[in-house]
Amino acid sequence: MPSDASPATVPVLSVCGLSVDYATARGVVHALDDVSFELASGETLGIVGESGCGKSTLARAVVRLVDPSAGTIRLGEEDITHASRRQLRAARRDIQMVLQDPAASLDPRWTVGELLAEPLAIHRIGSRAERRGRVADLLRKVGLPPEAAGRRPHEFSGGQRQRIGIARALALEPKIVVLDEPVSALDVSVQAQILNLLTDLQRTLGVSFLFIGHDLSVVEYISDRVAVMYLGRIVELGDRDSLWRRPAHPYTRALLDAAPRIDGPAVPTGPGLSGDTPSPYDLPTGCRFHTRCPIATELCRHEAPATRELSPGHLVACHFPDTGAEPSSSARFGSGI
Ligand SMILES: Nc1ncnc2c1ncn2[C@@H]1O[C@H](COP(=O)(O)OP(=O)(O)OP(=O)(O)O)[C@@H](O)[C@H]1O
C-alpha cells in the first residue's frame, strides 16, 4: 500500500507563499502576496477574480516567466523557484502554457506543422519523420485534419487557432498545462467546443490544468476546485460544488450573486459588488476587501485575516466567514465578473 510520501500522492504542482512584485515608475505593485495551493494529478484548479487581481501574474510565475520575490514553486518534488535556464528548459517538458490567442505570439511565417514540431526538435525528441507522425497525432487529438500542418495560423479561425495552441502545449506530453483565459476571446458556442475538448483531453491524457478565467460559468464548468483571488491574495479555495453552494467569503458571495443563473432570472440575483477596486499602489490595511465588504468591522480594517480551513479542503481568509448559508443546488450561468 502506498505511504503518504509515495509519488502518487505528491501534487504535480505545489505553490507555497508565492509573492511577485513589479517595480514601476509609480512604485511597487505587490501583484501576488503569499499565495499557496496544490494541484493534484489529473485535476483542474480554476482561478477567478476581477481584472488586476493577479491571475495572469500567477500563471506566468508558475511557469517561471516572471520571477517570484518570495515563496516556492515545486513541480512534483523538484523545486523550480530559482531554476537556471537549463533546468527550466527541462521543466518545460512537465509544464506548458496556453494563452488567450497563442498564435498571436507565434511567427506567422511558420506552418502549423513547424510550430508543433518545434518543441519536439528543441528537446531532441524523435527523428524528422517521427516528429511528422507526432504532429499528425497532435492535430488529430485536438480535432484538426492532417492537412492543417501545411497551413499557417492566420488561415484559421479563433477557435481553430486555440486548438493549435493546445496541440503545441501538449507536444511534450506535459503533466500540467496552465491555461490563461483560453476561451475569453471566443464566441460562446466556440467556447463550449474548446472546453469540451479540454475535458476530453484531460480524461484521456490525465493532464492537470491550472485554468485562469474571469467568466464564472466557464470556471464552474471546467474546474474541480476553485481559488478566488482578490488584490493578489487567495481569499477562498475549495471544491467547486461547495464553493458555489456555500461561499464563505463575502467577496466570493458577491461575485456569485452578480452572475445570473442558468435556471433563474436573466439578471443578476444579488447586490453584487459595490465600489471600485483599490489601487494596487495603495493597498488597504487589514483585510484588503474591507473597503467593499458589507460586513467589515474595525478588526477587518486593521488586521489581515489568517487563512483557515472551514472544512476539509475548504480554505477561507476572512474574520467573519459565512458558515450558515442555505445550500442551493441551482447552477449559475452568466456574464462573469
Ligand atoms: N509587467 C507589469 N509591470 C507592472 N505592473 C504589472 C505588470 N503586469 C501586471 N501588473 C500589475 O499587477 C497587478 C496584477 O495584474 P495581472 O495582469 O496579473 O492581473 P489579472 O487578474 O490577470 O488581470 P486581467 O484579468 O486584467 O488580465 C495589476 O495591478 C497590474 O496592473
What pLDDT was estimated at residue 273?
78
Is 100 close to ligand 1, i.e. is its CB under 6 Å away?
A: no
What pLDDT was estimated at residue 259?
78
- Nearest in space to 315 (alpha carbons), one of 209, 225, 245: 225
By alpha-carbon position, which residue is closest to atom 3 of ligand 1? 22
Model confidence at 269, in pLDDT bands (50, 70, 90)? low
* Residues 226, 237 contacting (CB under 8 angstroms): yes
Mean pLDDT of 141-167: 95
Mean pLDDT of 120-135: 93
What pLDDT was estimated at residue 274?
78
Residue 98: burial class (beta carbons within 10 Å; 0-12, 13-18, 19+): buried
Mean pLDDT of 256-263: 69
Is 63 close to ligand 1, i.e. is its CB under 6 Å away?
A: no
Is 31 close to ligand 1, i.e. is its CB under 6 Å away?
A: yes
By alpha-carbon position, which residue is closest to atom 26 of ligand 1? 51
Is 24 close to ligand 1, i.e. is its CB under 6 Å away?
A: yes
Q: How many CB atoms lie within 10 A of CB 78?
A: 12
Pull the grid cell for residue 91. Answer: 521543466
Is 213 close to ligand 1, i.e. is its CB under 6 Å away?
A: no
Which residue of 55, 179, 211 sits with most ligand 1 atoms within 8 Å of its CB, as the best mutation to test the pocket?
55
Mean pLDDT of 316-327: 81
Mean pLDDT of 99-107: 78
Element (H, E) at 307: none
Q: What pTM, to 2 d.p., does this model score?
A: 0.90
Mean pLDDT of 154-169: 94
What pLDDT was estimated at residue 108?
85
What pLDDT was estimated at residue 333?
31
d(CA 286, CA 303): 4
d(CA 188, CA 193): 9
